[in-house]
Structure 1
Amino acid sequence: MSALDFPPISLIIPNFNGSALLKANLPAVLRAAADYPGTAAVIVVDDGSRDDSAALVRSEFPQVTLIEHPVNQGFAEAIHSGVAAAPTEVLVFLNSDVSPAQDFLAPLVGHFERPEIFSVTPLVLDKQGGCNEVSWRCYHLQSGRFRAMQWAPPAIFNHPWKTLFASGGSMMLRKSMFTALGGFLPIFKPFYSEDFDLGLRAWRRGWISLLEPRSRVVHDSGSGSIKTNIAAKYIRAVRIRNHFLLEWLHLPARDIWLRLLPGYLWRSASRLVTFNWVYFAGLAGALIRLPEALRLRTEIQASATLDFWTLMADIEHSQHH
């Protein structure tokens, strides 16, 4: 690709009480935007912060477009506000606790020459330089549970892999496809699993997500706004709730009844013995949303063009090519 071939992009950063993170990581984002051969704009969506995040952006980063929510609306709505304001077809979602390499954009954007590409994720590293498991995702059923496959990056890792979804904290994607999918579903509010569901819904329409290991970001997962602003037990309950909802939205009915339901019963009994009320709070939250989940499931199945397990096999196989 020549410099003229690089499309304009918009980088969207949702923020809630993340003044320190913006101060630490926005300079790296701006260096990456300046390094990009095409035009790159940075948008920060301040989601009702109570700290000085908005004032910091206005005073120290005037080249950044600032959108302000008067009250906190959650991750998905912050992203949706950024998407609505972005003038470009190619978007990047970055969490405020992510620091990108200066050259991370160009390897991602090259894939969008293919019209079937929905999203591309960089290789996500931790602060020590180790590969984060969120970089690549594929799932299977094991011991009555829908689990992420374990993996490790190869010694030479310079070609893309198909992945089930790109992490909402560091992904490049097409605005038109995101909009066609309806964005992040509100059933997952306030956070977690909405990117997983988005990638699945895209795949089932035949739209592809990739991991591009030549592009790299560092994610300091312990410093994000969710973990620093919200009680740990509530976060765990939401994670549990949304994992149930994912299964009910997407897995084949036969697998839910024959393979997952026995696991639900066994885990419920074991959690009862150990007085693990967080698990039951998550389960209750999912059951309350079951009618909505069934409605959404019908819509997803109606537009699906790929068999669920054929998709998983294809993604797993992509590691070897």
Structure 2
Amino acid sequence: MEVLHRQKGIPGRFPWSSLQPVHGDLFVPEAGKGLAGRKRSRGARGRSGKALRVTADSDGVMAQRERCSIVIPTWNAGYLVERCLRSLKDHGESDRAEIVVVDDGSTADTAERTWATCPDAVLVRHDGNRGFAAACNTGMSRASHEIVVLLNNDVVATGPFLDPLLSHFRDERVFAVNPRVYQAEDGRPGGGLVRGAMHCGLLRLRWAERESLRDGRALTLYANGAAMAVSRSKYLALGGFDTLYAPFYSEDLDLSYRAYQRGWTVLYEPESRLTHEHGATIGARHDRAFIDRVSARNRILFVWRNVRDLRYLASHVCWMMARFLGAVLKGDLTFPRALMDAARRVDAVRSRRRTDPDPVTTDREILGSTSGWAARES
């Protein structure tokens, strides 16, 4: 790993050969330019100790705006990072945030596109591809602010979105907040407000589209890793995204569920809006059969890792046996292979459960409090 500064040289281009090692795997703009090279001042602080930015509103009155960090993990898709950063810049959100881009071992032009679009950005590069969870964890550990917004590189801001998210963190119980996320393919909402229930031995998720179109905030089952604001201190206390689920899927569900077990909450904020090109990165790298197998494996691992309710676990065992036999008889090996893949990680699951603190909220309380109208906030 290396830490590099961008040097003066070729206008508009920033080849790796023009960067100098400094320390670890952190890349920052040239000294004296941007957040990393700028001498930090104490600045204004809110009552919570969080950094605030002073800006002039439309009436010329000075108002305090809370700052945050925005972490964007990426691998090779430099054009997606550029588009994401440009959308943040176009709507003024990059001006009030520390931008941290985590390059997960790309061989493409991530640095060039990042700094061409956002010269103040901090770039952290992994020597090799470690996966989504590790990239997010690296970015979170590097972030400077208590509130961190995680964005996939295929997410685009369509307007200002930070203020509605950040306002919720005045409540110390809040772990994370989801914005309203629209699918780029058809413009429909999806992924912001999520319900869940144990069904046939696994946790079945439901995107609450109709509810998400109503005004009003609500509890949601989990914070979507594609776009969410999260308390950095709580995230780190939970150990971040669990690499048990590598290379992708279920890390965000697992993290949020463990947050609920600690007594924290996850909210949905419909006034904050983003667009997501779902699967633009994963779908380009893996075939459908592999994606389906990983998804099925991680749904199984989630139950083993988190569920404590004995009735749920008994139902899980019975259904897994039935589904395994049924799939074999039909000649469909996707689920049997997923179950065998999960079994190879059972030792890792056991070690995590042994070190977990006792939950303060039960499985039934978590699923009950985040389902339907029980989750509506006044």
Give the match's secondary structure for 1:28: helix
Number of the residue aligned with 2:353? 297
Alpha-carbon offset, residue 215 of structure 1: 0.6
Q: State how far apart, in whole Å, the 1-side matches of 2:100 and 2:115 are.
A: 12
Q: State how far apart, in whole Å, the 2-side matches of 1:263 and 1:287 are.
A: 16
Letter in 2 for 1:236: D
Number of the residue aligned with 2:75? 16
Number of the residue aligned with 1:248? 304
Alpha-carbon offset, residue 276 of structure 1: 2.1
Number of the residue aligned with 1:27? 86
Alpha-carbon offset, residue 295 of structure 1: 2.7
CA RMSD of aligned residues (A): 2.1
Counterparts in 2 of 1:77 and 1:146: CA distance versus 1, 3 Å: closer
Counterparts in 2 of 1:287 and 1:253: CA distance versus 1, 3 Å: farther
Counterparts in 2 of 1:6 and 1:207: CA distance versus 1, 3 Å: farther
Alpha-carbon offset, residue 107 of structure 1: 0.4
User: Which structure would you say has the larger RCO, counting Cα contacts within 8 Å and 6 or more residues apart?
Assistant: 1
Give the match's secondary structure for 1:158: coil
Give the match's secondary structure for 2:209: coil
Letter in 2 for 1:312: L
The answer to whether the 8 Å contact 2:155/2:276 transfers is yes
Q: State how far apart, in whole Å, the 2-side matches of 1:78 and 1:89 are.
A: 18
Alpha-carbon offset, residue 80 of structure 1: 1.6
Task: Report how many residues are paired.
Answer: 316
Alpha-carbon offset, residue 175 of structure 1: 0.7
Q: State how far apart, in whole Å, the 2-side matches of 1:118 and 1:247 are.
A: 21
Number of the residue aligned with 2:20? none
The answer to whether the 8 Å contact 1:76/1:189 transfers is yes
Number of the residue aligned with 2:286? 230
Give the match's secondary structure for 2:194: coil
Counterparts in 2 of 1:12 and 1:257: CA distance versus 1, 3 Å: closer
Alpha-carbon offset, residue 6 of structure 1: 2.9
Counterparts in 2 of 1:154 and 1:310: CA distance versus 1, 3 Å: closer
Q: State how far apart, in whole Å, the 2-side matches of 1:292 and 1:283 are.
A: 15
Alpha-carbon offset, residue 256 of structure 1: 4.1
Within-5 A mapping of 1:81-160: 81-127=138-184, 128-132=186-190, 134-149=191-206, 151-154=208-211, 157-160=214-217
Of the structure 1 ranges 203-212 and 69-78, higher mean CA displacement relative to structure 2 is found in 69-78
Consecutive unaligned residues in structure 2, runs of 5 or more = 1-45, 47-53, 56-62
Tell which structure's C-alpha radius of gyration is larger: 2
Give the match's secondary structure for 2:88: helix
Counterparts in 2 of 1:185 and 1:222: CA distance versus 1, 3 Å: closer
**Aligned-pair identity (%):** 28
> Residue 99 of structure 2 is aligned with which of 39, 42, 49?
42
Alpha-carbon offset, residue 318 of structure 1: 1.1
Number of the residue aligned with 1:308? 363
Q: State how far apart, in whole Å, the 1-side matches of 2:344 and 2:329 are.
A: 23
The answer to whether the 8 Å contact 2:309/2:363 transfers is no
Consecutive unaligned residues in structure 1, runs of 5 or more = none
The answer to whether the 8 Å contact 1:101/1:215 transfers is no
Alpha-carbon offset, residue 278 of structure 1: 2.5
Higher helix share: 1
Q: State how far apart, in whole Å, the 2-side matches of 1:173 and 1:285 are.
A: 31
Alpha-carbon offset, residue 250 of structure 1: 1.8
The answer to whether the 8 Å contact 1:162/1:209 transfers is yes
> Residue 202 of structure 1 is aligned with which of 254, 259, 263?
259
> Given the alignment of the two structures, is residue 186 of structure 1 paired with residue 227 of structure 2, yes or no?
no
Alpha-carbon offset, residue 51 of structure 1: 1.9
Number of the residue aligned with 1:64? 121
Of the structure 1 ranges 307-316 and 172-181, higher mean CA displacement relative to structure 2 is found in 307-316
Give the match's secondary structure for 1:280: helix
Structure 1 segments of 4+ aligned residues over 4 angstroms from their partners? 1-5
Alpha-carbon offset, residue 282 of structure 1: 1.3
Cα distance per residue 1:95-136 (max 9 Å; x no partner): 00111232111000000111111100101111232111x212
Q: State how far apart, in whole Å, the 1-side matches of 2:351 and 2:260 are.
A: 19
Q: State how far apart, in whole Å, the 2-side matches of 1:201 and 1:277 are.
A: 31
Letter in 2 for 1:266: A
Counterparts in 2 of 1:169 and 1:257: CA distance versus 1, 3 Å: closer
Counterparts in 2 of 1:164 and 1:299: CA distance versus 1, 3 Å: farther
The answer to whether the 8 Å contact 1:8/1:40 transfers is yes
> Residue 269 of structure 1 is aligned with which of 297, 322, 325?
325
